[in-house]
Structure 1
Amino acid sequence: MYQQDRKDLMTVSGVRGFIDEKGIAQLNLEDAARGLGFTDTSKGVEYVKWDRVRQYLNDLRFSTEVSKESFIPENIFYRLAMKAKNTAAEDFQTKVADEILPEIRRTGSYNANKYPAISQELQSIIMLDIRTQEFDQRLHRIEKNTTIEHGQLLSLQSTSHKVVTELLGGRNSEAYRNKGLRSRVYKALWRDYKGYFNINSYHNTLIKSFDRALEHIESWKLPGQLQREIEEANRQMSF
């Protein structure tokens, strides 16, 4: 458990932090708790609800022997943020991820002070590598929460049309001409799709899931009852 007495400590947007010897960002627990809203006010003075903070840390199996001088690694910060249920906490988490941590990494001891004896060229390479990692992390967060674009949506629709048409026996089949039956097949496909990806509309498919979404549609199988109805409808056409 790190304490505050460090020469490499810096403050970014009111949050104290540093990069430890392993390259892990450490944030001041008091600053993090205030930003996440784990506070109360008495007689006009805001104070941290340390009992709540310690309970959350205990839930996360992290040391509860903490104080306002303590620091926590960034992974614990993000897990603490999941305990906060307010808009201010979400905004603070975004600020930490997009502004505070990148700034600490750029100007912290890990970037500039950890290797004082190495050449300027090598320091520049290290800086470039760190910034690349930051970019990859930010891109991962975007992909994790961004839904598919219009062109990808059209690809899902086109694939679903192809699959449903084949399952019905082709455009000239009796089952395909039966609008009610055809509609039920589409509904069954998308109902299964939404359940599989845990979304309320295929429009909300995430970019990171797009390839898997196409594969899911292409490999989709008819429920037994619908399969039998399609076979019966197409059998009647042959008479």
Structure 2
Amino acid sequence: MKIRFSIIFLTYIFISAVFFSCTGNEEKGSDIKTKLTDDTDSISYSIGADIGDNLINQGIDINYDAFSAGFRNGYEKEEHLLTIEKRRELFKSMQDRMRVKQQAEASKALEKAENFLKDNKNENKDIQVTKSGLQYRVIKKGSGKSPDSSSDQVRVHYEGKLLDGTIFDSSYKKGEPFVTRLNRVIKGWTEGIQLMNEGSEYEFFIHPRLAYGARRNNDIPPNSVLIFKVELQKVFDKNIK
């Protein structure tokens, strides 16, 4: 029953089918004082937390009482207050409004990103720009070897933040460097790290088209400029898999 509900909800509200686990919207109203005594409790809470996070990220307001009543009607096979046709109509209308709002926000964010990058280049003499539009500054130049292809595997320490200074990811905070192949990360990283050599530290200012573009990625809003400080520690030998 939960799965059937999730498919209906996901289809008509979040047709883009990102990562919403809409299988359990009933957990949205969970009391934060609820004790999690077993796996079912913990899973239920996790589903509710994800739903809450994603609803607020989408800017969707809900009435908890109506929400709970609707879920209860469906889950307990009770008579619905609205027909499936009416619910579909409402979902489609909300989806259309969300799309218009998101497109407007993404367009505004892109304009802000491009204005920032233009000013950043013009006002800072140490900023260099590649043909793709990737901006970077050399904080420290190393003396080791450089990656020579996007298939190279590297070990880096990094910190990523948004224009407002919000740090959205940091290997330093995680307590260990990050190992990856350069063809498994965003384009700005793939290109930028190949400019570095071991021991270098660069700061990258990454245009949205070289990052996540117009789509949201967890805490990163659509069309965000990403600012990364990256320390290249090691370029692994080609035969390492």
In the superposition, the TM-score normalised over structure 2's length comes to 0.24
Structure having the higher Rg: 1
Q: Larger % of helix: which?
A: 1
Q: Larger % of strand: which?
A: 2
